[in-house]
Chain A
Amino acid sequence: MILGRLYFLSVMKKRLLILMLCFGFAKMAMAQKDSLALDEHSKYIYYRVINQGKDDANVLLVRGLDFFSEPYNRDAFKITAKDANTHTFEVKSFFTVSKSSSLAKHDDGKITYTLTVETRDKKYRYWLGNFVFTPYYKDRYNNMVPQPGVEIPMEAISKKIEAREAAHYLDECAAFGKKLGAKLKQYMDAEPVVKKADGKKVIDTKKW
């Protein structure tokens, strides 16, 4: 009888611990969720200043431009402006979003944006702005495609679509800004790798 109660208590303890851990993780996840800010023109932006701490402004500018010119990024990202004097460049791109209520996950719209990057010695800042949402619809061939002629600035989205979806898409903007920023930081921090033309590693066997 006593053994049984002890066993029951230990199981309950474990369950409580798991619950507390889950709760903790949920709280952490909530705490980590980024959100958009408003700029001086009352437009949504995702803005971050990064203290890189190593390289000068020119190196950071070249590295930033290289990142968006890499073969795996250049189809999706178009560098639309660059200025060596102000150490600034602009990129236009998009990302797709899914409805929070979708049973099956598929692209339900795309959000276009402009990314601005500005570098200084040992630091840089970047911000995503000019977010515009275009809903997708299923065409006759079973493809999810942009609805022609519908472009909704994110500042007006809550007036055009359901409040829950509008809030979800705003969260997605911030989440994408965070993801993009993390990849950019990784690239900015790394020493550039000298690549061979054919991309293959060449080893000189005469040397050790």
Chain B
Amino acid sequence: MKQKLLLICALAVSGLAAKAQDSIKVTSDAPLVITGSVDAYYKYDFAGKKFANIPTSFNNESNSISIGMIDLGVKKKVGKAAFVGELSFGPRGQAQSLPDATTGTLTGSSYHIQNLYVSYDLTDKLNVTGGYMATFIGYEVIAPTGNFNYSTSYLFTNGPFQNAGVKLTYAFSDKVSLMAGIFNDSWNTYQSTSDVSTFGAQLMVVPVKNWTAYINFITGYYSGTEFDVTTNYQITDAFKLGLNFATYSQPSLKTSPAYGNGGFTGVALYPQLAVSKAVTLGLRGEYFSAKSGNLGGTYTGVVPGESVTALTVTAAIKSGPLTFIPEFRVDNGSKNMFLNSDGKGTQAAQQIGVAAVYAF
């Protein structure tokens, strides 16, 4: 009996093996793709104070050894269907970027979701994706592994971080694709405020080899309208140039039509030069201007009608999966928008810091 069972097992295994022999696997056969990162940093503000003088989204705790987040992502694709779930734990991935599930504000977080969506390839060229996703707008992202600079731009901080919705992406070729989708009225929230009324679209083009451009548009009565161009050009093996331009119009508030009508316009340039296989140096030069209007607030410290110019010098020093990121940044406003060491208003602010990002 034992021998018969063994024989049956052996035959079954050889049958499976025969099937597996047919094709040549060209991609990883991991049952579940797991990715993630961990980041921590130290930042010193030249004003010597604890307050966040330069309003970067993350990397904002001065004179402190601080943590970013642990990011854990899983992905699985079987045939045409795929899912992605990406959770984050830590200030960067919680209160600093994600809304509280119950209040919809950034004051606390009970969920820590970066991406949670399912997708399906309707054809070889057409894909449908639905859920809560990183926004398609802008150059920079929440995950530290997705950015070259550790601090973030004004354009990033004031644009959407995430959008919940359903989108269709059609690939005309590997050089042109078009995405169009319908999203919740409010950005960065797990559920809509009233309805699903934001329209978004993205045209991806590869004008020449090594140059990719994304032309993005998002509009809705609740969250406003943003037109955004994000592009990267790997000009030589060592030199890459990125650019982000965006203009945003704030809608009037339904409850107080006198408010709103503002917005912002900005441009950021990202030249990066690999000086060795372990070290890449980069700059980010940004000009950000808040449009005149009755906003009733500021765009991260930039009041309507004013502007700021920010220059960030960053080095990325790689050692295996670990990247050290020393960074110096100086922001210069069109008027006093920062505080000096005496607590008095000043036009300029400087910070220096170092971050460590481990990717897996």
Contacts and interface: CB of A to CB of B under 8 A. Distances in A.
Given A142-B73, A142-B75, A183-B21, A107 B28 contact: yes
Interface string B20-34: 011111111010011
B33 A144 contact: yes
B23 A73 contact: yes
A106 B30 CA distance: 7
B233 interface: yes
B210 interface: yes
Nearest to B360: A103
A138 B35 contact: yes
Interface string A133-151: 0000111111110001110
Contacts of B206: 148
Contact of A179 (B24, B114, B318, B320): B24
Interface in A152-186: 152, 159-162, 179-180, 183, 186
Contact of B86 (A70, A107, A142): A142
A142 B16 CA distance: 32
A105 B28 contact: yes
A76 B36 CA distance: 28
B316 interface: no
B209 interface: yes
Interface size class of B (residues with CB under 8 A): 35 or more
B360 A102 contact: yes
> Binding site of A, secondary structure by majority: helix, strand, loop or mixed?
loop
Contacts of A72: 22-23
Nearest to B138: A140
Nearest to B359: A138
Contacts of A144: 33, 35
A7 interface: no
Interface in A51-101: 70, 72-73, 76-77, 93-96, 98-99, 101
Contacts of A30: none
Contact of A98 (B28, B84, B86, B359): B28
B232 A148 contact: yes
A135 to B, nearest CB: 11
A160 B232 CA distance: 20
Contacts of A28: none
B84 A96 contact: no
Given A73-B23, A139-B146, A186-B21, 12 more contacts: A72-B22, A94-B26, A96-B28, A99-B321, A104-B35, A106-B30, A137-B146, A138-B35, A141-B84, A142-B114, A148-B212, A162-B278
Interface of A: 70, 72-73, 76-77, 93-96, 98-99, 101-107, 137-144, 148-150, 152, 159-162, 179-180, 183, 186
8 contacts: A72-B23, A76-B26, A104-B36, A106-B28, A148-B206, A149-B232, A160-B277, A183-B24
